[in-house]
Amino acid sequence: MEFDEAVRSRRSVHEYSDEPVDDDTLEAVFERVRYSPSSYNLQPWEFLVLTEDGNRERLQEVAYGQEHVTDAPVAVAVLGNTDPSAHAEAVAEDQLRKGYLPNEEAKEGLLETIEGMAERDEETNRNWATKSTALAGMTLLHAARAEGLATCPVGGFDADALREEFDIDDQYEPVMLVTMGHAAANAQDTNAPRKFRRSVDEIVHREAFEPTAADLDDEVVTESYATQ
Amino acid sequence: MEFDEAVRSRRSVHEYSDEPVDDDTLEAVFERVRYSPSSYNLQPWEFLVLTEDGNRERLQEVAYGQEHVTDAPVAVAVLGNTDPSAHAEAVAEDQLRKGYLPNEEAKEGLLETIEGMAERDEETNRNWATKSTALAGMTLLHAARAEGLATCPVGGFDADALREEFDIDDQYEPVMLVTMGHAAANAQDTNAPRKFRRSVDEIVHREAFEPTAADLDDEVVTESYATQ
User: Using a CB cutoff of 8 Å and minimum separation of 24, what contacts does A183-186 make?
Assistant: A183/A11, A183/A13, A183/A15, A183/A16, A183/A17, A183/A150, A183/A225, A183/A226, A184/A15, A184/A16, A184/A17, A185/A17, A185/A226, A186/A15, A186/A226
Angular region, A84: left φ>0, alpha ψ -120 to 50, beta rest: alpha
The pLDDT-based confidence of B182 (bands split at 50, 70, 90) is very high
Proportion of chain B in helix, strand, coil states, percent, rounded to 5: 45, 15, 40
pLDDT of res. B215: 79
Bridge-partner residues for A212, per DSSP?
none
| CA–CA separation, B106 and B129 (whole Å) | 25
pLDDT of res. A215: 79
pLDDT of res. B219: 61
Q: With a CB-CB cutoff of 8 Å, which residues 47-106 of chain B face chain A?
A: 47-52, 55, 77, 79, 81, 86-87, 90-91, 93-95, 98-100
Residue B54 has pLDDT above 60, yes or no: yes
Q: With a CB-CB cutoff of 8 Å, which residues 97-136 of chain A face chain B?
A: 98-100, 123, 126-128, 130-132, 134-136
Identify the structural domains of chain B with CATH numbers, from first to last.
Answer: 3-191 (3.40.109.10)
Residue A52 has pLDDT above 60, yes or no: yes
Q: Do B216 and A95 touch (CB under 8 A)?
A: no
Residue B228 has pLDDT above 50, yes or no: no
pLDDT of res. B220: 58
Q: What pLDDT, in 10s, does the model give residues A110-160?
A: 999 999 999 999 999 999 999 999 999 999 999 999 999 999 999 999 999
Chain A CB contacts of B136 below 8 Å: 138
Nearest to B175 among A81, A95, A131 (CB): A131
Query: DSSP state, A73?
Result: S
Q: Do B213 and A135 touch (CB under 8 A)?
A: no
Q: What pLDDT, in 10s, does the model give residues B87-141?
A: 999 999 999 999 999 999 999 999 999 999 999 999 999 999 999 999 999 999 9
Measured in residues, chain B has a length of 228
Answer yes or no: are the C-beta atoms of B114 and B10 closer than 8 Å. no
pLDDT of res. A220: 58
Answer yes or no: are the C-beta atoms of B45 and B36 closer than 8 Å. yes
Q: What pLDDT, in 10s, does the model give residues B199-226?
A: 999 999 999 999 988 877 766 554 544 4
Chain A CB contacts of B139 below 8 Å: 7, 138, 142
Nearest to A98 among B2, B192, B211 (CB): B192
Q: Quickly count: other Cβ atoms within 10 Å of residue A34's Cβ.
A: 22
The pLDDT-based confidence of B191 (bands split at 50, 70, 90) is confident
| CA–CA separation, A157 and A178 (whole Å) | 11
Chain A CB contacts of B85 below 8 Å: none
Q: Could you report the predicted ipTM of this complex, rounded to two decimals?
A: 0.95
| Sheet strands side by side (includes A74-81) | A150-154, A172-181, A74-81, A45-50, B204-206
Q: Report the chain A residue with the minimal C-alpha distance to residue B173.
A: A127
Q: Do B137 and A135 touch (CB under 8 A)?
A: yes
Chain A CB contacts of B216 below 8 Å: 90, 93-94
Q: Do B123 and A128 touch (CB under 8 A)?
A: no
Share of chain A above pLDDT 70, in %: 95
Residue B227 has pLDDT above 50, yes or no: no
| CA–CA separation, B207 and A47 (whole Å) | 10
Q: What pLDDT, in 10s, does the model give residues A164-211?
A: 999 999 999 999 999 999 999 999 898 889 999 999 999 999 999 999
pLDDT of res. A216: 76
The model's pTM: 0.95
Average pLDDT along chain B: 94
Mean pLDDT, range A38-43, rounded to an integer: 97
pLDDT of res. A228: 32
Nearest to B214 among A10, A90, A135 (CB): A90
Answer yes or no: are the C-beta atoms of B198 and A34 closer than 8 Å. yes
| CA–CA separation, A111 and A92 (whole Å) | 7
Sign of CA dihedral A80, A83, A84, A87: negative
Closest CA to A53 of A74, A34, A36, A37: A74
